[in-house]
Amino acid sequence: MNVIVYGYGLMGKKVAQAVRDNEKMDLVGIVSPVFDEKIDENMYSSLEEVNEKVDAIIDFSHPNNLEDILKFGIKNHCALVIATTGFNDQQKLHIEEASSQIPIFQSYNTSFGVSMLTKIVKSVAKEFYEQGYDIEIIEKHHNQKIDAPSGTAKLLYDVIHEDIDETKEVYDRSQVHHKREKNEVGIQSVRAGTIFGEHTVLFAGHDEIIEVKHTALSKDVFVQGAISACNAIVDKENGLFTLKNLY
From CA 218, how far away is CA 130, in angstroms rounded?
A: 36
Instruction: Tell whether 242 is in a known binding site.
Output: no
From CA 53, how far away is CA 114, in angstroms rounded?
A: 32
Instruction: Tell whether 110 is in a known binding site.
Output: yes
From CA 29, how far away is CA 183, in angstroms rounded?
A: 49
For the stretch 18-54, pLDDT in tens is 999 999 999 999 999 888 888 888 899 999 999 999 9
User: Which residues touch 92 (CB under 8 Å, ≥6 apart)?
Assistant: none
Q: In which element (H, E) is residue 185 found?
A: strand 184-191
13, 14, 141, 214: the catalytic one is: 141
Instruction: Tell whether 22 is in a known binding site.
Output: no
Instruction: Tell whether 84 is in a known binding site.
Output: yes
168 is catalytic: no
From CA 206, how far away is CA 134, in angstroms rounded?
A: 10
pLDDT at 246 over 80: no
Architecture of domain 2-106+220-241: 3-Layer(aba) Sandwich (3.40)
Same CATH fold, 112-216 and 2-106+220-241? Answer: no
Instruction: Tell whether 167 is in a known binding site.
Output: no
219 is catalytic: no
Architecture of domain 112-216: 2-Layer Sandwich (3.30)
Domain boundaries, the chain: 2-106+220-241, 112-216
For the stretch 162-209, pLDDT in tens is 999 999 999 988 888 889 999 999 999 999 999 999 999 999 999 999
Single-letter code of the amino acid located at 221: V
Q: In which element (H, E) is residue 121 found?
A: helix 112-130
62, 94, 122, 145: the catalytic one is: 145
pLDDT of residue 80: 98
Instruction: Tell whether 44 is in a known binding site.
Output: no
SS3 147: coil
